[in-house]
């Protein structure tokens, strides 16, 4: 996976998410904050919403806030959480969020934690093989045990 170092703009986006989490953090209800930057230069924030049985990721509300503002060309995004020492750090998007990113911002860049170092990666690299309906794929082999072309 291709990565790059953070720019000043990436650090600013991280700081926006960090500011939100500093204000809103709750150990069960609000564990993660997210920020998305649009091509117009706007930043939309999102907050993890937790309850006893359900956790809704911060990235989803950040993406929803951009959608509601009709500012939908996301160019970069980040999510942050508190580590074991209570310091706010970059956290990587879960599988659900990676799928959302494939729908709402597949051309965006995402700040991720690469073994303790913040790096920037392409959104599409985080979900290289997304789920799809059988009719959406290019398979032409009906029996993987007997790989003959059945749909020329
Ligand atoms: Zn998630």
Check whether domain 8-131 has CATH 3.40.140.10, yes or no: yes
Q: How far is CA 15 from each of CA 37, 40, 49, 52, 83, rounded to the nearest angstrom?
A: 12, 19, 20, 29, 16
- In the chain, how many H helices and how many E strands? 4, 8
Q: What is the pLDDT of residues 4-38, one digit of tens each?
A: 999 999 999 999 999 999 999 999 999 999 999 99
**What spacing in Å lies between the alpha carbon of 8 and ligand 1's midpoint?**
25
> Cα separation of 25 and 89, whole Å?
13
Alpha helix stretches (DSSP H) within 37-118: 58-68, 95-104
Element (H, E) at 22: helix 8-24
Mean pLDDT of the chain: 93
How is the chain split into domains, by residue range?
8-131
**Which of residues 129 and 2 earns the better pLDDT score?**
2
**What spacing in Å lies between the alpha carbon of 145 and ligand 1's midpoint?**
36
Q: What is the pLDDT of residues 29-64, one digit of tens each?
A: 999 999 999 999 999 999 999 999 999 999 999 999
Residue identified by tokens 């926006």 is 16
**What spacing in Å lies between the alpha carbon of 70 and ligand 1's midpoint?**
22
Residue identified by tokens 């007997």 is 146
**What spacing in Å lies between the alpha carbon of 71 and ligand 1's midpoint?**
21
**What spacing in Å lies between the alpha carbon of 104 and ligand 1's midpoint?**
14
Element (H, E) at 125: helix 123-126
């Amino acid at each position: 996976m291709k990565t790059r170092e953070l720019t000043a703009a990436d650090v600013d986006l991280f700081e926006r998410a960090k500011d939100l989490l500093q204000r809103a953090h709750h150990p069960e209800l609000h564990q993660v904050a997210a920020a998305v930057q649009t091509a117009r230069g706007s930043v939309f924030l999102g907050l993890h919403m937790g309850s006893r049985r359900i956790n809704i990721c911060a990235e989803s509300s950040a993406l929803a806030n951009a959608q509601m503002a009709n500012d939908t060309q996301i160019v970069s995004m980040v999510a942050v959480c508190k580590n074991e020492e209570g310091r706010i750090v970059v956290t990587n998007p879960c599988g659900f969020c990676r799928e959302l990113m494939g729908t709402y911002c597949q051309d965006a860049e995402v700040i991720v934690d690469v073994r303790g170092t913040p790096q920037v990666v392409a959104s599409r690299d985080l979900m290289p093989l997304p789920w799809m309906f059988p009719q959406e794929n290019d398979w032409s082999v009906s029996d993987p045990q007997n790989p003959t072309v059945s749909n020329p």
